[in-house]
């Protein structure tokens, strides 16, 4: 079964801390996405990865294809980073739909 | 550009009532999607469209119908609402389904409560 697992489910950090959110998947993929869901509900795409590493501001996303694992790092965390972070993958055998399979999300709370 | 918009933002229905959720995008995207989001679960695909006039079933299509008469609009219909359809519904669109342009752009969501 094609599955996406995120850990931890909930994470509380103090402002300034380095944060890591993990995503593991069961079988081969063609792409992995990290998304952010704001407290108001809106969802925005942060990164799309098929290999290696990407960086945008204080956010860094890495992927290890062999280990079927990706991490999202936040450096110098800030209360405005508080959100749900969602991992989604496009499995190689997703058929003609090429649909994404989503993890259940990691709720991050950054305290001032 | 407005991006992806959804109407309504919130709706309460009684069991058995029908309604239509409207999604509109102004990015000239070919692909459009309807998802539902339930507590503790990832987003699940209800139906999707690969272009004007075409629709297909996703992971959880039962109880829903869709139409895409115009490229910019994707409608989700509930013919006879059930309490199990209480959820937050998101519409999304993308230019492609692979490569750098497969990023999906999401609407703000519609919160639906079925009593």
Label residue A48 exposed, middle or buried (CB < 10 Å: 0-12, 13-18, 19+): buried
H helices of chain B, in order, are: none
Q: Residue B57 forms beta bridges with which residues?
A: B47
Q: How far is A87 from chain B (nearest CA, A)?
A: 9
Q: Which two tokens stand for residue A21?
A: 């959110």
Cis, bond preceding A8 (omega within 30 deg of 0):
yes
End-to-end CA, chain B: 36
The residue written with tokens 């389904």 in the block is B97
Would you state the pLDDT for residue A1?
Answer: 66
Nearest residue, CB atoms, B88 vs list A41, A45, A88: A41
Nearest residue, CB atoms, B103 vs list A42, A48, A98: A48
CB contact under 8 A, B100 and A101: no
Would you state the pLDDT for residue A21?
Answer: 98
- Which residues of A are less than 8 Å from B42 in CB distance? 4, 86, 88, 101-105
> What number of CA atoms fall less than 13 Å from residue A2's CA on the CB side?
16
Would you state the pLDDT for residue B65?
Answer: 97
DSSP A38-105: -TTS-EEEEEEESSSEEEETTEEEEEETTTTEEEEEESS--GGG-EEEEEEEEETT-GGGT--EE---
Q: What is the dihedral of CA B77, B82, B85, B86, to 10 degrees?
A: 120
Would you state the pLDDT for residue B45?
Answer: 94
Residues in chain B: 115
* All residues at 6 or more sequence positions from A95 whose CB lies less than 8 Å from its CB, including other chains: none
pLDDT: which is higher, A40 or B82: B82
Task: Report the residue of A92, A102, A103, A107 to disrupt the B interface, i.e. the one with the largest count of B CBs within 10 Å.
Answer: A102
- Nearest C-alpha in A relative to B104: A45
CB contact under 8 A, B106 and A103: no
Residues A67-100 pLDDT 10s: 999 999 999 999 999 999 999 999 887 665 568 9
Residues B66-93 pLDDT 10s: 999 999 999 999 999 999 999 999 999 9
CB contact under 8 A, A104 and B102: no
- What is the maximal distance between C-alpha atoms in chain B? 43
Instruction: Inform me whether the C-beta atom of residue B58 falls under 8 Å from chain A C-beta atoms.
Output: yes
Are B26 and B42 in contact by the 8 Å Cβ rule? The answer is: no
Q: What is the dihedral of CA B3, B32, A85, B62, to 10 degrees?
A: 140
């Amino acid at each position: 079964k094609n599955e996406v697992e995120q850990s931890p489910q909930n994470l509380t950090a103090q402002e300034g801390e380095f944060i890591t959110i993990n995503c593991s998947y069961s079988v081969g993929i063609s792409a992995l996405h990290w998304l952010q869901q704001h407290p108001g509900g809106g969802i925005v795409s942060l990164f799309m990865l098929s290999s290696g590493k990407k960086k945008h501001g204080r956010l860094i996303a890495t992927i290890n294809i062999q280990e079927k694992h990706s991490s999202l790092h936040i450096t110098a965390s800030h209360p405005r980073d508080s959100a749900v972070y969602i991992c989604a993958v496009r499995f190689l055998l997703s058929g003609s739909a090429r649909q994404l399979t989503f993890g259940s999300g990691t709720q991050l709370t950054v305290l001032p | 550009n407005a991006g992806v918009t959804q109407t309504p933002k919130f709706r309460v229905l009684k069991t058995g009532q029908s309604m239509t959720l409207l999604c509109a995008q102004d990015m000239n995207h070919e692909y459009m999607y309807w998802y539902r989001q339930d507590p503790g679960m990832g987003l699940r695909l209800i139906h999707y469209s690969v272009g004007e006039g075409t629709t297909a079933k996703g992971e959880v299509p039962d109880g829903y119908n869709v139409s895409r008469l115009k490229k910019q609009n994707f409608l989700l219909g509930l013919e006879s609402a059930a309490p199990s359809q209480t959820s937050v519904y998101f519409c999304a669109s993308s230019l492609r389904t692979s490569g750098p342009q497969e990023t999906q752009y999401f609407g703000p969501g519609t919160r639906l409560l079925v009593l």
